[in-house]
């Protein structure tokens, strides 16, 4: 069953008289219980996509396209309906748990709040659910009365996950959930997220700049560049056999230890990440940095071409491979 269908999503910010097209046409679908990772660097539009799913964008943003969540277009929902969808059916885990948690209220209160708000249950039931949730994310339920500053960074991120799970949503959006954390804590949180999502069949969209982190958690990966999908497909195939040169560069950015090719040879891309305000409409936005660009890449139309089972890639080289 399709949980989420995004069709031709475009988001334009108006800043100081000029339009910044942060997202320029993104399509993907997510089935119930499926996990999708969206990777990209700053200015790729990945966070804008995540925020537009919950309609959390600033008023200056103009959204077009369709965002069908369980068959209903989120973009046309009334405020009352939208509030019911937020948290209860679709919830979000932000990066930086310290600023996303209210410092003057205990974590137990903060987890209980959405439960009391969205489900007509009494205080005792909500309390029991809170304890259960804290246990499930690996924070002792005796800590329910603790305040955010009394917890470590990893524990705070766990509390954020418990909050996202509080109303048994069908979809969780995790925006850079582990960015500020240490490697070991990061691995613990990722493992927790993977387990929870798998057990409870919750759909997950995870946003990160780190392709390899997403590969650990998600079944499918989407790579964004300059507001469009550069490539989308099953994680393993995408990481081991990238079809878009940008995916290849991202996959190679964090080396595998023991891989002789990357020893004393860091790989990166020349040039700078695209400035969303200056991306040309015509041609491939990646062309200026592309190591395998063809002469007509700057001008010809680029679309997401099929690049294997369940895979799409927005690169002309895909066409050669398919035809040969």
Partner 1 sequence: MNTPDDGPVLEAVDLKVTYPGRRGRPPARAVDGVNLAARPGEILALIGESGCGKSTLARALVGLVKPTGGEVRYRGSGLSYRGRALKRYRRGVQLVLQDPAGALNPRQNVYDAVAEGPRLHGLRSGLDDRVHNALRQAGLRPPEQLVARYPHELSGGQQQRVVIAGALALEPSVIVADEPVASLDASVRGEILKLILQLRDELGLTALVVSHDLGLAWNIADRVAVMYLGRIVELGPVEEVLQHPQHPYTQALIDVLPGGAKRRHDLLAGEPPDPTRIPPGCRFHPRCPARAELPAGDPRDALCTGKALPVLGPGAAGERAAACHLVGVPLVDAP
Enumerate binding residues for partner 1 (CB under 8 A): 41-42, 152, 154, 182-188, 191, 209-213, 215-216, 239, 246, 249-250, 252-259, 262-270, 272-273, 289
Nearest distance, CB of residue 76 and partner 1, angstroms: 35
Query: How many Cα atoms are found within 13 Å in the side-chain-facing hemisphere of 221?
Result: 30
13's CB contacts (< 8 A; 6+ apart) are 19, 20, 22, 58, 60, 61, 62
CB distance 147 to 107 below 8 Å: yes
CB distance 106 to 145 below 8 Å: yes
Q: Which is nearer to partner 1, 114 or 242 (CB)?
A: 242
Nearest distance, CB of residue 187 and partner 1, angstroms: 4
Q: Which is nearer to partner 1, 31 or 241 (CB)?
A: 241
Q: Which is nearer to partner 1, 13 or 246 (CB)?
A: 246
Q: Which is nearer to partner 1, 146 or 185 (CB)?
A: 185
CA distance to 13, 141, 162, 182, 189, per residue, from 130 (Å): 38, 8, 8, 26, 19
Nearest distance, CB of residue 150 and partner 1, angstroms: 13
Q: Which is nearer to partner 1, 88 or 248 (CB)?
A: 248
Cα–Cα distance for residue pair 90/233, rounded to 1 Å? 23
Tokens of 148: 């955010």
Other C-beta atoms lying within 10 Å of the C-beta of residue 113:
17
Nearest distance, CB of residue 74 and partner 1, angstroms: 29
CB distance 286 to 230 below 8 Å: yes
Residues 224-255, buried b or exposed e (16+ Cβ, 10 A)?
A: bbbbbbbbbbebebbbeebbbbbbbbbbbbee
Nearest distance, CB of residue 255 and partner 1, angstroms: 5
Q: Which is nearer to partner 1, 91 or 208 (CB)?
A: 208
Cα–Cα distance for residue pair 208/224, rounded to 1 Å? 11
Nearest distance, CB of residue 54 and partner 1, angstroms: 25
Q: Which is nearer to partner 1, 46 or 118 (CB)?
A: 46
Nearest distance, CB of residue 139 and partner 1, angstroms: 12
Cα–Cα distance for residue pair 132/139, rounded to 1 Å? 10
Other C-beta atoms lying within 10 Å of the C-beta of residue 126:
20
């Amino acid at each position: 069953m399709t949980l989420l269908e995004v069709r031709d999503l475009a988001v334009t910010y108006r800043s100081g008289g000029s339009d910044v097209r942060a997202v320029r046409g993104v399509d993907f679908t997510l089935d119930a219980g499926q996990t999708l990772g969206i990777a990209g660097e700053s200015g790729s539009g990945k966070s804008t996509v995540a925020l537009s799913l919950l309609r959390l964008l600033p008023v200056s943003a103009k959204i077009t396209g369709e965002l069908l969540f369980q068959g209903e277009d989120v973009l046309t929902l009334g405020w009352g309906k939208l509030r019911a969808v937020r948290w209860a059916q679709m919830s979000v885990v932000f990066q930086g748990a310290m600023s996303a948690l209210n410092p003057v209220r205990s974590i137990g209160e903060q987890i209980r709040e959405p439960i009391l708000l969205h489900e007509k249950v009494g205080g005792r039931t909500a309390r029991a659910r809170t304890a259960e949730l804290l246990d499930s994310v690996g924070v002792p339920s005796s800590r329910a009365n603790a305040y955010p500053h009394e917890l470590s960074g990893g524990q705070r991120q766990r509390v954020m996950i418990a909050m996202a799970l509080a109303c048994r949503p069908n979809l969780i959006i995790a925006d850079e959930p582990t960015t500020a954390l240490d490697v070991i804590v990061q691995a613990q949180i990722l493992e927790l997220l993977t387990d929870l999502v798998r057990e409870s069949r919750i759909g997950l969209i995870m946003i990160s700049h780190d392709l390899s982190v997403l590969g650990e958690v998600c079944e499918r990966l989407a790579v964004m560049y300059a507001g469009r999908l550069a490539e989308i497909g099953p994680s393993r195939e995408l990481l081991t056999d990238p079809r878009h040169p940008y995916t290849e560069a991202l996959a190679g950015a964090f080396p595998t230890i023991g891989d002789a090719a990357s020893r004393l040879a860091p790989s990166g891309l020349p040039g700078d990440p695209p400035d969303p305000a200056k991306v040309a409409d015509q041609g491939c936005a990646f062309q200026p940095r592309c190591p395998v660009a063809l002469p007509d890449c700057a001008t010809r139309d680029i679309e997401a071409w099929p690049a294997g089972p369940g895979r799409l890639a927005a690169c002309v080289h895909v066409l050669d491979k398919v035809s040969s």
